[in-house]
Chain A
Amino acid sequence: MAEDTLPELAQGTPTPDGPMMARPVRPAVTLRSFWGNRSRPEGTGTGIVIVGAWGALVLGSALYRSDFLSHQTLLAVTFTMAIVGVLSVGQALVAISGAILDLSVPTALILPSWAIVSLLGQGINIFLVILAALAVGGAWGLFNALIIVFGKINPIIVTLGTNFAGAAMLNILFENAQTPISSGLAKWGQGKFLGLPNIFWPMLLVVALAGYFVPRSRVGRHMIAVGGSSQAARARGISLRKTRFAVFVISGMLSGVAALLFTASDLYFIPNDGSNFLLPTLATIIVAGIALSGGAGNLWLVLLSVGFISTVTTALAFYGLSDVWQQPPPGAILMIAVSIDGYRRIRSRR
């Protein structure tokens, strides 16, 4: 397999991933990858597992009901993929850069959404609204980054705190919001392009741009280096501060993009709707094999992962499970997926 078929991001040694959350003790010896062959692109193993599981799901469902393979199913899945996909790219960048997780996804999504809808309601031009969404999203990321960098506090704790406060503030600020039906955004959000939802294509673009530019741009390579080892990165002269700010601002702007897709396709929302997106986002990057210890991760796998997870709930409906039984299976799949992943890592260390 050619090296650049799957653009991978890990440039150095795969990080040893133990069951602990914290940065593990680093052995002096370089570990061999799962295949024992370092020329394999990073994440191939995980990718194969996801594709395999996805394939099995699709095949099984198609055998169970032949009308599973229809354009309707494709639409249902791709609509669901769009918003979570964009949020997952942002989350992946956070994880890859060694900032572990950003738990403030709910606020990061709803704050720009509220801005979008408020501005549209006042008749502001759509291009300005888009800029505003990116700005507000980026500002939230900046806010988190300021606390993380100057407080020198772990991002997972900071974002847990800022989300507690932020989601509550949103509830105090507004009770519900509507995207004007007559607006171009609403019309665009319900439409399709080349047979797939309009909101799907920006997500694809985001994944493609991130997947291409992160390993090739200076900022991206700095992110990976910092995620791999912040001391080593600093020794190489990389500014940790600038990198952290970049990660969170970019991730915040991506939530602004997600907010545009959200308000375009969901025309009426309340502040607490944001909390529906946290778990799927985390599940997506974890199933995609993005190491929470940082320094490695394949953004194309994020696309596969969000596709797989989105297909699960649709498939469940075909099995007659559209009601309360819809909740347990995705959780079980997440558990199984990370168990398989963990097992692979343990075995690769022996």
Chain B
Amino acid sequence: MSKLTTRWVRGTLAAAAIVPLMALALVPMNVGAVAAAASAKPFKVCMGTGGQGLNWQTGQGQVLQSIAHKEGWSSVVLSNNNSATTTVNNVEVFIQDGCNAVVEFNPASPGDVPAMQAKFAAAKIPVITFDVPEPGAYFVGIDNLKAGIEGGQMLGKIIKSKWACNLDLLIASHAHGAGTVDTQRTGGMITGVLDECPTIPQSKIVNDEGGGQVSVALPAGRNVLAADPTAKRIAVVGINDSTVVGTIEAAEQLGRSADIIGWGQDGSLVTGANVDPHLLGSVFYFLEGYPEAALPLLKEIAAGHAPPVKDDTHNNPEVLLQPCPVTAAQARNVPGYSARLQKLMQSAAGTTEYALFCPNK
């Protein structure tokens, strides 16, 4: 066969494949939807998880599915992949999937993707957001600002008693990709420290980008510490345990860890056998257990008695979870993530992790 003929054949085959494809695309087929409408559909709850590589985000999805299963609901969990475009695309999927209620952990801070809530509102689907308030949605979560401040105050008290508020350096390790969660938690921690020690000057506070991960906080911390080579008394706050521990490890590497103390957030590195001795405490949110706290609200929605959404969701949350600040010593009695998750799934519906695990309620 000559070259032209092979191309003919291939081209014709390809065109034969493409043309019906295009035709199909122009003829919307609602076969699936029609078949489903025939039978009574169970309540469908859907969730978009954060997708930021944090284990509790997957956990939230797993707990929700377990709850839904117990209630006889159907559920769909997708990852928002830490991406605004994926988040909004998932909204479309949820709408097409016929979700009756959606839970969102929006990795792109609220209001940065107004399209999300706009689409849900247009489709008249009730939305519950975890931890990140969104106008028009029910807010279930911690007050991140308050949690940050409380953690900061606990560290501040130690700075006061240990050093009489005379410290050389306060490092705040941020994750700017986390939006308002970072501004409130990390910013809140700084506020809390200053509450206890108002004499700490701004010049002693350094903000760096720790990325919320040890691998990013480590080199960033090394650079900050090198740039202040004489600082001895060092305190560390940050958006989560990983970023604080990373900064502390940087001090250990540079031989500056004699007088360093840190307080974390989210409690992910304050349990287990590998707790860094300089991490004096953290604040448990028991994030993976949030769906349990949202269960009463979901039941109301499922029963058709959805309460009105409060106007100012930030100051007026639907369900406010309590943060659980702990010292490292207290955290020894708290089981690790996997154990907590397992216990929670086995407990009666509606049991919160706070009730199960917080050592100082």
The reply to whether A73 and B229 form a contact with Cβ atoms under 8 Å apart is yes
CB pair A190–B252 under 8 Å, yes or no, is yes
Contact B269 A323 (CB under 8 A): no
Please, which residue of chain A has its CB at the minimum distance from the CB of B252?
A190
State the CA gap A132–B225 with chains docked (Å).
35
- A77: which B residues are within 8 A, CB to CB? 226
- Bound Cα distance from A273 to B255, whole angstroms: 24
Distance, CA A181 to CA B215, complexed state (A)? 16
C-alpha spacing A272/B253, complex, angstroms? 23
**Cβ of A75: which chain B residues have Cβ within 8 Å of it?**
222, 226, 253-255
Residues of chain A lying within 8 A (CB to CB) of residue B215: 266, 269-270, 273, 276
Whether A268 and B53, one on each chain, are in contact in the complex, defined by CB atoms closer than 8 angstroms, is no
- Report A254-290 residues with CB < 8 Å from chain B CB: 265-273, 276
Is B96 interfacial (CB 8 A cutoff)? no
Other-chain contact of B226, A178, A190, A269, A317 (Cβ < 8 Å): A317
CB interface residues, A 294-339, toward B, < 8 Å: 313-314, 316-318, 322-324, 326-327
Q: A266-B214, A313-B219 are in contact. Are A72 and B229 (CB under 8 A)?
A: yes
Per the bound structure, the CA–CA distance linking A269 and B218 in Å amounts to 11
Q: State in angstroms the CA–CA spacing of A110 and B249 once bound together.
A: 20
B224 touches A317 (CB 8 A): yes
A13 located at the interface, meaning its Cβ lies under 8 Å from any Cβ of chain B in the complex? no
CA distance A77 to B253 in the complex (A): 12
Q: Smallest CB-CB separation from A180: which chain B residue?
A: B274
Chain A positions 10-38 with a Cβ under 8 Å from a chain B Cβ: none
- Type the 1/0 row for A156-198, where 1 means its CB is closer than 8 Å to any CB of B: 0000000000000001000110111110000000101000010
A326–B209 Cα distance when bound, in Å, is 8
The verdict on A70 contacting chain B, using a C-beta distance below 8 Å, is: yes
CB distance from A183 to the nearest CB of B (A): 10
Q: How many residues of B contact A (CB 8 A)?
A: 40
> Quick check: is A140 within 8 A (CB to CB) of the other chain?
no
Contacts of B226-269 to chain A: CB distance below 8 A: 226-227, 229-230, 242, 245-246, 249, 252-256, 269
Residues B230 and A67 in contact, CB atoms below 8 Å apart: yes
How long is the Cα–Cα vector from A271 to B55 in the complex, in angstroms?
A: 12
| A273-B213 contact, Cβ under 8 Å, with A268-B245, A322-B207 | yes
B216, CB-defined interface residue at 8 Å: yes
- With known contacts A73-B229, A175-B55, A267-B274, A316–B218 Cβ distance under 8 A: no
Q: In the complex, what residue of chain A is closest to B256 when comparing beta carbons?
A: A72
Asked if B218 contacts A192 (CB within 8 A), the reply is: no
> Of B218, B219, B274, which contacts A181 at CB under 8 A?
B274
Question: Are B218 and A265 touching (Cβ within 8 A)?
Answer: yes
Which residue of A73, A178, A265, A313 is within 8 Å of B253 (Cβ)? A265
Give Cα A267 to B272, complex, Å.
Answer: 13
Whether a CB of chain A sits under 8 angstroms from the CB of B273 is: yes
Question: Judging by beta carbons under 8 Å apart, are B254 and A72 in contact?
Answer: yes
Known A276-B216, A317-B224; judge A271-B53 contact (CB<8 A). yes
How close is B170's CB to chain A, nearest CB, in angstroms?
Answer: 13
The listed residue (A71, A180, A190, A276) touching B273 by CB distance below 8 A is: A180
Does A97 have its Cβ within 8 Å of any Cβ on chain B?
Answer: no
Which residue of B54, B176, B214 contacts A267 across the interface (Cβ within 8 Å)?
Answer: B214
Interface, chain A (partner B; CB < 8 A): 65, 67, 70-73, 75-77, 79-80, 171, 175-176, 178-182, 190, 192, 197, 265-273, 276, 313-314, 316-318, 322-324, 326-327
Q: Identify the B interface with A (CB < 8 A).
A: 53-55, 58, 174, 176, 206-209, 213-216, 218-220, 222-227, 229-230, 242, 245-246, 249, 252-256, 269, 272-276
Would you list the 7 A-B pairs with minimal beta carbon distance, nearest first?
A317-B223, A76-B226, A317-B227, A273-B215, A76-B222, A72-B229, A322-B208
Task: Contacts A182-B273, A190-B252, A268-B274 known; list 14 others, CB within 8 Å.
Answer: A70-B229, A72-B229, A76-B226, A179-B274, A181-B276, A265-B249, A266-B214, A267-B214, A267-B249, A269-B215, A273-B213, A322-B206, A322-B220, A326-B208
